[in-house]
Amino acid sequence: MSKTTAATAALTKAGIVFDLHPYAYDPDAPRVGLQAAEALNVDPSQTFKTLMAEVDGKCVCVVVPSDGEVSMKKLAAHFKGKSANMMKVPEAEKVTGFKVGGISPFGQRKLHPTAIDETAQLYNIVYINAGQRGLLLSIAPEEASQFLNAGYVDLMAE
């Protein structure tokens, strides 16, 4: 497993402080984010998954707790759209340059409009995919938000 990914290289180049946390990736896990949290013995609500979605056909990146579900209505509203849906796997991999299960909001081929669930602000650090299956990074939420030019918003389904 490489410790240098497009995500870690982008953060390092920007001078952002983070720590790496490798874990045993289980490709058969029903929910990869929950499996990662369990493997690292971290609270699932502090472990964030990166999802790629489309709002009115435009690509957006969403960073939300691994133990929650995104409200498509809230997502569309945040990006001032009418409808939102999850991007299909091949398209998500193409636009990000990462494989599903290893998609990071950092170091994607292009910076897409990004939203981070507001609960990230509850923690001094959050765990987010580092751009490779089986590798998370811990980062201050404020650093992540600034790097991604992302706002905090309530994105979770009730």
pLDDT digits (tens, 9 = 90+) for 73-103: 999 999 999 999 999 999 999 999 999 999 9
pLDDT at 136: 95
Q: Are 53 and 87 in contact (CB under 8 A)?
A: yes
Q: What is the pTM of this model?
A: 0.94
pLDDT at 26: 84
> pLDDT of 104-136, one tens digit each?
999 999 999 999 999 999 999 999 999 999 999
Catalogue the E-assigned strands of the chain: 19-22, 47-55, 58-65, 84-86, 114-117, 126-132, 135-139, 151-153
pLDDT at 1: 53
CATH superfamily, domain at 6-153: YbaK/aminoacyl-tRNA synthetase-associated domain (3.90.960.10)
